[in-house]
A and B are shown apart, each in its own frame.
Chain A
Amino acid sequence: MTKKNELEYEDVSTRPVKSFFATMLTRDIKLEDAILDLLDNCIDGIARSKKGLGGKRPYEGYWAEIEFKRDSFTISDNCGGIPWKLHGYAFRMGKAHDRPSDTKGTVGTYGIGMKRAVFKMGKNCLISTQNRDSRYEVHIKPEWIEEEEEWMLPVKASKKGKDEDGTTIYIRDLYPGVSSRFDDDAAAFKADLDKLIATHYAFIINKGFQVKINGTAVKPRPTRLAFSKSAKGIKPYIFEASIDGVDIFLTVGFTRPIPSQEEASDEQTETKYSTQNAGWTVLCNDRAVLFADKTELTGWGEAGVPQYHTQFIAISGVVEFRAADASKLPTTTTKRGIDTSSKLYLRVKNKMREGMKRFTDYTNRWKSYAEESKKYIEDGTPLSLEEIKSETRNISFNKTKHTLLPGKQYSPDLPVPKKEEPNLRRISFTKERKHIERVAEYLFDDRDAKPSDVGEKCFDLILKEAKK
């Protein structure tokens, strides 16, 4: 056996292994999210092409088309292409310190999105791009991925020009799992991807951007909150602030009437709503990084706010973060999650809880009178985030200067049910379903009559007897 002091020590290598990027890093991201990363790059392209993203429809005229089949994936856009000066950033694994400064308002921060998406799907990729005078192609071949020593990628000038500046990424030699989802599961995959884009890019699509999947345009599905113009009707809670270069706009309210206790309880045993869009959506520079979250991440089940329950199916909120410097946004590398260590987010979360609490309290107060409460919510018009923003002109805000998060807020006065008369008492009990159905059939000739109606009718009948 060799003695320890006889070993010759040498410097150890920390050079990255290519397969780490090509096959390991890709495990951290879902296929759908990888495709969203590619869409993010399209949006960043628009931010670079335009002087600003202000106005009502700044993305008008820009599009991205996704096409997937058993043996290939393509995404094409007219979003300005990759400027040659950014090639080091676009194609290098990770962001170098000497990277040229990007345009304000882009979301790419870590320099891994496009590469990770390509490696996630296949081994053979052709990226062709055109930005003003630069028009070039980069071909990532299977041999390059396998060759550990080779870190340079050949670049060729494109022979053909495009009508508009933009990028096309064409991926072949798909991994079997990916190919299978594009073919065997094509209908389910297309439906899921459509839904993901319709919700996560709702705000951008509403502002003019067009996304097509295998030829079908995605229709946006933004969160809409009931906004009543009458004094007694329900408006959402709103908070606005601007901290360290980040603009914040937060709103939470009702998307629909609250469910009755019975409806909420039925939902526990038999799914009526296949998807519950309740919860919080967090936007960073127009992209949803979190959608319909119902966990502690967005304040549910914390600091006096109850845990999410189907009773709260009507409550939704949206928080928008907007910053010229993307690194200040509280998002993760996948851009599909929240950086939970972000101080800014933790401060904003207090406001999210504060707003949400008003609506969970309302729901609890009115759950026994859900039918009556309907009129307050239905009195409102369902408004999108942008529409709520324009309505804020007609609302008087309170300033919150000396608090954890200085800003201004509107906290609505929500209706309170009339107090129950002191001589009224609630009766609540459970019985076997088959027995309830039997009595329902006896009383109403309808086995599906509401259990509460069955119980009430039984009581009324016995009361009548007792009074005789």
Chain B
Amino acid sequence: MNSDRSKKMSAPPPYHLRPNKTVDRLVFLDAIRRYVRLPRKQEQYTYYTMGGPYLQDVRDMHDSFPEIKIVSIEEKEKICKRQKFHLPCNRVKIENSKMKEYIDLYAANDKKSIFWLDYTDLKYSNFEDFMALLVKVRSESIVKITLQAVARYYSGKEEEFRSQFDAILPSNYGVHPRDQVEYAALLQDMLRISAEKALSGATGFAFQPVVSLCYTDSADILTLTGVVCEKSKLAETRDCFKKWQLSNLDWRAPKKINVPFLSVKERLHLQKLLPCKKNGGKKLLRSLGHCIDETERASRIQLDQYAEFYKFYPHFIRANPQ
């Protein structure tokens, strides 16, 4: 009964092999940047994360928002030690705890929070944590959740999936989706139902989705970011993101990230053409003059992705630490 599919994955690859994950992290920072601005101030916020051994997201957060206090929650003692070694500044508190237990004890004390529930598996308890958190955070807090979204794990096993997630399954769940984006959209619907159950209309609060993305690095992943606020402030919240091309303010299917591997020389060549609003892939491919994948079509799709996410594309270069 206890399937292995929801268990931990093997250690994730290092970040320079995870450009999609990096894009996702930088998109998250962009979302925060668009929301945490006057009248909101970054010093009003505390960032709670499951930062992993290198605290990469903590470093990025501190670089972008130096006034934000940071708490890293880590279940494994060994990793906590490694995190302490990687501390990027003295504003980070390391907590040795399971996220569920941390949320149980968490009290907002009228302070705004930014939470990243960064799960590498898919369990009902992940959704429970999400629901428990939504009812605890103060208004104008940001919550991001990441879930494993590998469609094939439950392919043809609808009953098993139903028995585990029945309480939050949408009414149209029937044949299990095989497509990555469709499956990510199903999980997003489950998050929507969880949010509506936690913050039902009667509470006067709501979870406003802001951006949702799906991608593959070591596994298929869905991430959803949203803002908890009073219903009366929903329009104002949406206004912060309405001009953002990556925003998803009405629970549409998540956007897929699948950025190509490009050489520095290729990127420098393409930068003068960016941004381009329409037919990005076609224009970039024409300018480049060569395919970056097996076929012209595949190359165009990849360059479309680059045109969309180039601002968040990571630049990994060899450094000589001194």
Contact partners of A260 in chain B: CB under 8 A: 1
Contact partners of B196 in chain A: CB under 8 A: 184-189
Contact partners of B43 in chain A: CB under 8 A: none
Q: Is the CB of A272 within 8 A of B124?
A: yes
Query: Which A residues from 411 to 458 make CB contacts under 8 A with B?
Result: 434, 447-448
Closest to B7 in A: A448
Given contacts A194-B171, A448-B7, contact A188 B125 (CB under 8 A): no
Contact partners of A274 in chain B: CB under 8 A: 124, 127, 164-168
Query: Which B residues from 250 to 292 make CB contacts under 8 A with A?
Result: 251
Smallest beta-carbon distance B312→chain A, Å: 30
Interface window among A104-112, A175-183, A320-328, A359-367: A175-183
The proximity string for A residues 150-193 relative to B, scoring 1 for CB distances below 8 Å and 0 otherwise, is: 00000000000000000000000000010011011111111101
Tell me whether B295 is interfacial, beta carbon within 8 Å: no
Q: Is the CB of A188 within 8 A of B166?
A: no
Contact partners of A191 in chain B: CB under 8 A: 168-171, 193
Smallest beta-carbon distance A311→chain B, Å: 13
Closest to A437 in B: B76
Query: Which B residues from 119 to 165 make CB contacts under 8 A with A?
Result: 123-125, 127-128, 163-165
Known: A185-B196, A185-B197, A448-B7. 5 other contacts (CB 8 A): A187-B189, A191-B193, A273-B166, A274-B167, A275-B163
Q: Is the CB of A275 within 8 A of B166?
A: yes
Q: Is the CB of A270 within 8 A of B171?
A: no
Q: List 13 A-B contacts (CB under 8 A).
A: A181-B200, A184-B201, A185-B197, A188-B192, A188-B200, A218-B171, A257-B1, A263-B2, A271-B128, A272-B124, A273-B163, A273-B164, A275-B166
Contact partners of A266 in chain B: CB under 8 A: 2
Query: Which A residues from 218 to 236 make CB contacts under 8 A with B?
Result: 218-219
Q: Is the CB of B197 within 8 A of A272?
A: no
Q: Is the CB of A184 within 8 A of B231?
A: yes
Contact partners of A270 in chain B: CB under 8 A: 100, 123, 125
Q: Is the CB of B197 within 8 A of A188?
A: yes
Contact partners of A448 in chain B: CB under 8 A: 7-8
Closest to B3 in A: A272
Point out the residue from B124, B170, B202 that lies within 8 Å of A273, measured CB to CB: B124
Contact partners of A181 in chain B: CB under 8 A: 200-202
Contact partners of B189 in chain A: CB under 8 A: 187
Closest to A197 in B: B171
Tell me whether B206 is interfacial, beta carbon within 8 Å: yes
Contact partners of B192 in chain A: CB under 8 A: 187-188
The 10 closest A-B pairs by CB, nearest first: A180-B201, A184-B201, A194-B171, A188-B196, A275-B166, A274-B167, A185-B196, A274-B124, A188-B193, A270-B125
Expressed in whole angstroms, the Cα–Cα distance for A448 and B4 within the complex equals 9
Interfacial residues, chain B to chain A (CB-CB below 8 A): 1-2, 7-8, 77, 100, 123-125, 127-128, 163-172, 174, 189, 192-193, 196-197, 200-202, 206, 231, 251
Point out the residue from A195, A219, A434 that lies within 8 Å of B174, measured CB to CB: A219
Expressed in whole angstroms, the Cα–Cα distance for A259 and B2 within the complex equals 10
Query: Which A residues from 247 to 284 make CB contacts under 8 A with B?
Result: 257, 259-260, 263, 266, 270-275, 277
Q: Is the CB of B206 within 8 A of A184?
A: yes
Q: Is the CB of A216 within 8 A of B171?
A: yes
Tell me whether A213 is interfacial, beta carbon within 8 Å: yes
Contact partners of A447 in chain B: CB under 8 A: 8
Expressed in whole angstroms, the Cα–Cα distance for A189 and B193 within the complex equals 8
Point out the residue from A185, A190, A263 that lies within 8 Å of B200, measured CB to CB: A185
Contact partners of A263 in chain B: CB under 8 A: 1-2
Given contacts A185-B201, A273-B163, contact A213 B171 (CB under 8 A): yes
Closest to B127 in A: A274
The proximity string for A residues 297-329 relative to B, scoring 1 for CB distances below 8 Å and 0 otherwise, is: 000000000000000000000000000000000
Expressed in whole angstroms, the Cα–Cα distance for A180 and B232 within the complex equals 13
Closest to B171 in A: A194
Expressed in whole angstroms, the Cα–Cα distance for A270 and B124 within the complex equals 9
Contact partners of B206 in chain A: CB under 8 A: 184
Contact partners of B200 in chain A: CB under 8 A: 180-181, 184-185, 188
Expressed in whole angstroms, the Cα–Cα distance for A187 and B189 within the complex equals 8
Closest to A184 in B: B201
The proximity string for A residues 31-50 relative to B, scoring 1 for CB distances below 8 Å and 0 otherwise, is: 00000000000000000000
Expressed in whole angstroms, the Cα–Cα distance for A448 and B9 within the complex equals 11
Expressed in whole angstroms, the Cα–Cα distance for A388 and B166 within the complex equals 25
Contact partners of B127 in chain A: CB under 8 A: 274
Q: Is the CB of A195 within 8 A of B77?
A: no
Closest to A181 in B: B201
Contact partners of B170 in chain A: CB under 8 A: 187, 190-191
Expressed in whole angstroms, the Cα–Cα distance for A266 and B7 within the complex equals 14
Expressed in whole angstroms, the Cα–Cα distance for A212 and B277 within the complex equals 42
Closest to A266 in B: B2
Contact partners of A186 in chain B: CB under 8 A: 196
Closest to B172 in A: A216
Q: Is the CB of B171 within 8 A of A190?
A: yes
Expressed in whole angstroms, the Cα–Cα distance for A431 and B78 within the complex equals 19
Contact partners of A277 in chain B: CB under 8 A: 163, 166
Smallest beta-carbon distance B69→chain A, Å: 28
Expressed in whole angstroms, the Cα–Cα distance for A177 and B251 within the complex equals 23
Smallest beta-carbon distance B235→chain A, Å: 14
Q: Is the CB of A434 within 8 A of B77?
A: yes
Contact partners of A185 in chain B: CB under 8 A: 196-197, 200-201
